[in-house]
């Protein structure tokens, strides 16, 4: 799933290659991906793209006051073309969800692999009309988001810190992968309760969050969309590296499996050497 650094990379690319261009056509291939009906999709056509911005993991193209907002979900992606294919867009079982052609012939496809379709597209007059945008928490990378703000968000939350970091209503833009990375850098167990973190642990987690996301965003900057996934994978320390050696201590990276996701961690760095129990048990093995 693309998270904040990769989404910001896509925003930067669109800012350079799409902003200033007029939308020549928008074609919907997956009706289920389109979540709105007013304004209609064709209201975008002929309008010039004024800006590309990010709201958490949502991308927002402002086309003269009509916004094309989309969320790539777990298996979605944006494929850029210097020359959009001339083949007609037809609804069907292909990965294609939406195609946007610009006035110079360039443009992009929104695609989604797999059978579980969650990619979402909205055409709205105000991004706040998108439910997922409206309920976003603060952006943890914002210049004004200070340690005191972070501590206030965590205060009293009797929820495992892994879940807190992933919750988009708490912090906008962090997902499964970067929450693993942040906790590894901070040397904290994913199962610790946010409310029980000491002031020193809160500060360590804040610094780890800011630095990890800043480094990942810098690594994504300037890369074309086709390269962003590989850049993300290559920068991971523990996420997606089950069975490999921890780059810090050399211990074996472990995994916990949930019904619909997994997370990775290093026992030596994060849990005092104790492997975490399966989430069904929801506690440390004794």
| pLDDT tens digits for range 175-185 | 999 999 999 99
Share of the chain above pLDDT 90, in %: 90
Among all chains, which residue has been given the structure tokens 């972070």?
150
Alpha helices in 167-224 (DSSP H): 176-186, 199-220
**Tokens matching residue 150:** 């972070």
Q: 4-134: what CATH class? A: alpha beta
Q: Where in the chain is the domain with CATH 1.10.8.50?
A: 147-270
Q: Where in the chain is the domain with CATH 3.20.190.10?
A: 4-134
Q: Which fold has domain 147-270?
A: Helicase, Ruva Protein; domain 3 (1.10.8)
pTM value > 0.75: yes
| pLDDT tens digits for range 172-212 | 999 999 999 999 999 999 999 999 999 999 999 999 999 99
H and E: helices and strands count for the chain: 8, 10
Contacts of 131 (CB under 8 A, 6+ apart): none
User: What does the buried/exposed string (b/e) look like for 234-257 if buried means 16 or more CB atoms within 10 Å of the residue's CB?
Assistant: ebbbbbbbbeeebeeeeeebbbbe
**Tokens matching residue 190:** 């994913």
For every one of its 286 residues, what pLDDT tens digit does the chain have, with 9 covering 90 and above?
799 999 999 999 999 999 999 999 999 999 999 999 999 999 999 999 999 999 999 999 999 999 999 999 999 999 999 999 988 888 877 899 999 999 999 999 999 998 788 999 999 999 999 999 999 999 999 999 999 999 999 999 999 999 999 999 999 999 999 999 999 999 999 999 999 999 999 999 999 999 999 999 999 999 999 999 999 999 999 999 999 999 999 999 999 998 778 999 999 999 999 999 865 444 444 4
Half-sphere exposure of 243 (CA within 13 A, CB side): 0
Contacts of 97 (CB under 8 A, 6+ apart): 28, 29, 30, 33, 76, 109, 110, 111, 112, 117, 119, 121
How many whole angstroms separate alpha carbon 69 and alpha carbon 58?
7
């Amino acid at each position: 799933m693309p998270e904040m650094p990769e989404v910001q990379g896509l925003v930067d690319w669109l800012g350079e290659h799409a902003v200033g261009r007029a939308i020549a056509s928008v074609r919907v291939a997956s009706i289920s991906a389109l979540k709105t009906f007013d304004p209609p999709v064709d209201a975008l056509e002929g309008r010039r793209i004024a800006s590309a911005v990010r709201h958490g993991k949502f991308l927002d193209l402002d086309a003269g006051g009509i916004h094309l907002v989309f969320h790539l979900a777990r298996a979605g992606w944006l494929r850029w073309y210097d020359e959009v294919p001339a083949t007609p867009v037809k609804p069907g079982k292909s990965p294609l969800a939406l195609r946007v052609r610009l006035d110079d012939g360039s443009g992009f496809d929104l695609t989604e692999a797999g059978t579980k379709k969650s990619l979402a597209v909205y055409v709205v007059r105000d991004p706040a009309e998108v439910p997922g945008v409206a309920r976003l928490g603060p952006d943890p990378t914002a210049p004004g988001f200070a340690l005191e703000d972070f501590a206030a968000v965590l205060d009293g939350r009797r929820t495992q810190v892994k879940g807190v970091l992933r919750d988009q209503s708490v912090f906008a833009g962090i997902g499964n992968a970067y929450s693993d990375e942040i906790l590894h850098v901070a040397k904290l167990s994913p199962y610790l309760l946010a409310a029980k973190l000491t002031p020193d642990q809160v500060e360590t987690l804040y610094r780890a969050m800011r630095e990890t996301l800043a480094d990942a965003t810098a690594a994504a900057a300037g890369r074309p969309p086709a390269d962003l996934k590989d850049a993300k994978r290559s920068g991971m320390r523990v996420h997606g590296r089950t069975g490999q050696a921890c780059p810090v201590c050399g211990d074996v990276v472990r995994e916990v499996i949930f019904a619909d996701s997994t997370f990775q961690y290093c026992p030596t760095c994060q849990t005092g050497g104790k492997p975490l129990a399966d989430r069904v048990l929801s506690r440390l093995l004794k």
